[in-house]
Structure 1
């Protein structure tokens, strides 16, 4: 009995082949489970909240665009000035106040 066990331990097929086959076959089953989790997560992501889905509904889309157009129509888009953000070494609040001071005096 122990003799046969020692022979099997020395056999290259038992030593290297069977673990390799177990790894390949077991890996394919493991990958199937992981990919199934991936696809299930994608399905969950695609489901929209009912309130959001009502807003994004394609039948009502033109009405939403008209509302946004009415909001933008009243804004003055030509009278703006670009204000540079602070550099990492500058104090942000102090620099922004310096930038806004001339603008506030003008209005």
Structure 2
């Protein structure tokens, strides 16, 4: 028959296993701290994927740099426009038939 050790070390281990802080608090702290590290890794994957998908074609980037459109230049174009014969045409609502509205002269 095996003889079990029941000295002061085993008594201390049993006392620690009944401790509420170690029983509930330690797993909770491990979950919170481990979760923050895990979330950091997952969010880093998200940002890395975003950087890979948002690369602009160099030819398109050059074309965008060449086409300098500013708010002031657009304002100058609109300032010289004639709005006396402007007619506001309403689009069709979902329940209306759009054919008659499309055939109206603009």
Gaps of 5+ in 2: none
For residues 23 and 56 of structure 2, the distance between their equivalents in structure 1, rounded to whole angstroms, comes to 53
Residue by residue, what CA displacement relative to the aligned partner does 1:22-66 show, whole Å, maximum 9, x if unpaired? 112211211211231233244335521222112112xx234x78x
SS of structure 1 residue aligned to 2:56: coil
Structure 1 length normalisation: TM-score? 0.55
1:16-95 equivalences under 5 Å are 16-44=24-52, 46-57=54-65, 60-62=66-68, 78=83, 80-95=86-101
Residue by residue, what CA displacement relative to the aligned partner does 1:50-105 show, whole Å, maximum 9, x if unpaired? 22112112xx234x78xxx9xx8xxx8655532211123211223332xx1xx27x
Gaps of 5+ in 1: none
Distance 1:52 1:77, change over 3 A: farther
Structure 2 length normalisation: TM-score? 0.56
**Which has the higher mean CA deviation after the structures are superposed, 83-92 or 41-50?**
41-50
Tell me which protein shows more helix as a share of its residues: 1
- Aligned-residue CA RMSD (Å): 3.5
Distance 1:51 1:77, change over 3 A: farther
